[in-house]
Amino acid sequence: MAASDNILDVAVIGAGMAGLTCAQLLRMAGYSVTVVEKSRGLGGRVATRRLQGTCADHGARYLQPTGLLLRRLVQVLSDRNIIEPWTDTVYELGSDQHPHLLAPGNWCTYYTAPAGMSAIGKFLGADLQILLNRRVAAISPTDSQTWHLTLHATDSAAEPDQELTAKAVVVAIPAPQALTLLEPHEGAVPLELLNKLRSVEFEPCISVMAGYPADRQQDLARRDSAWRAVAFPSEEKLAWVGIDSSKRRGSEVPVFVLQSTPGFAQGYLEAEDFQPAGEQLLARAAKYLLPWLDSPDWVQVHRWRYAFATRPLPEACLSAQVPVPVVCCGDWCGGNLVEGALASGIAAAGWVNGQLQGLTLPGEGFWDAIARE
């Protein structure tokens, strides 16, 4: 259904798993939809960094299909060779400061994408109208019962600032960022909705990507145990270490990804230079795992300010007529992580559809439908 007079049916703010899921459902039903994303890639925290002739997953480590929605998506992605099993064994650092295999009852098959986890976002974004490198600076309801969105370019190579007009808005970004957009309209936006956004709490994380000389592959082959990732349940600074290059087909050089504890990342929330944090985490990994991990050929460090929702909401999405329809969704609604994001995006699409024309939304097989288009 084409929009008239350049007015969109729906603008979706955020191209994470929730936003893309919601946008696809509404697009496939027949609505005109545009997704606005401040970064240059899709998937949100299901993210991949391209660097040094390779790539590294610096956000979501893997897909762990324990819920029904994620199992369905994993099946579709597996059938199309976008993801594949990575490991089905779990290692943790023990009290003797060595990696130990956990009991089989705690094992689960973890799936990763050989081309990088961002391939999942690219799949979900197929055929969507998406504006990358655009930050929504402000939204406001108009007298004509629409939303007006002001977009600022976040990349010097992007188009100049833009404006959009939509009949409904989906805010699919972390709750504190959603609050920034909606709080100026307190009075029009119900206080209850704003207070629920204020109640959501997040923990940060620092991710370190590090590459090593090709001859270190021999050292990896001589490890005492064949771990691909190790969790650190009791470490003060380091939470997880994974051999990211083991996800890649034919990788010739070792690439590791390290992730910090929330407490360690908290100390760098306002920092401008994250390299000291990366050096500390690499030193910890070298102490416990492989002594050469503190001497990489290259390092990049990324801070996730809103990595994990520690106090999510029980609702699948937050919605209001202000009087123009607006709904908030994300992995901080109705659960956590990827499964929660998918469920939240579906719920948001259903609510928006009910506020607009009540078209027929795709059923449970809509991921298969994406692949067929």
Residue 4 has pLDDT above 50, yes or no: no
- Give yes or no for residue 223 having a pLDDT over 90: no
- Look at residue 1 in the predicted model and tell me its pLDDT: 37
Task: pLDDT band for 104, please (50, 70, 90 cuts).
Answer: low
Q: What per-residue confidence (pLDDT) applies to 3?
A: 40
Question: Is 22 in contact with 352 (CB distance < 8 Å)?
Answer: yes
Burial class (CB in 10 A: 0-12, 13-18, 19+), 47: buried
pLDDT-derived band of residue 127, with 50, 70 and 90 as boundaries? very high
The overall average pLDDT reported for the chain is 93
Q: Is the pLDDT of residue 203 over 70?
A: yes
Helices (H), the chain: 17-29, 68-79, 118-124, 175-182, 191-199, 216-221, 262-266, 275-288, 337-355, 366-372
Grade residue 180 by pLDDT with cuts at 50, 70 and 90. very high
Question: Residue 358 burial by CB count (10 A; 0-12/13-18/19+): exposed, middle or buried?
Answer: exposed
Query: Is 256's pLDDT higher than 60?
Result: yes
Tell me the range of 98-112, 159-173, 276-290 where mean pLDDT is highest: 276-290
How high is the pLDDT of residue 2? 38
What's the Cα-to-Cα distance from 369 to each of 123, 143, 202, 208, 339, rounded to whole Å? 11, 38, 34, 36, 19
Pair 283, 236: CB distance under 8 Å: no
Q: Is the pLDDT of residue 327 over 60?
A: yes
DSSP single-letter state for residue 133? S
Mean pLDDT computed over 67-72: 91
**pLDDT at residue 88 in the model:** 87
| Residue 50: per-residue pLDDT | 94
- The phi and psi torsions of 51 (rounded to 5 degrees) equal -165, 150
Report pLDDT for 253: 94
Q: Cα dist. 67→43, 230, 365 in Å? A: 19, 23, 16
User: What pLDDT score was predicted for residue 369?
Assistant: 85
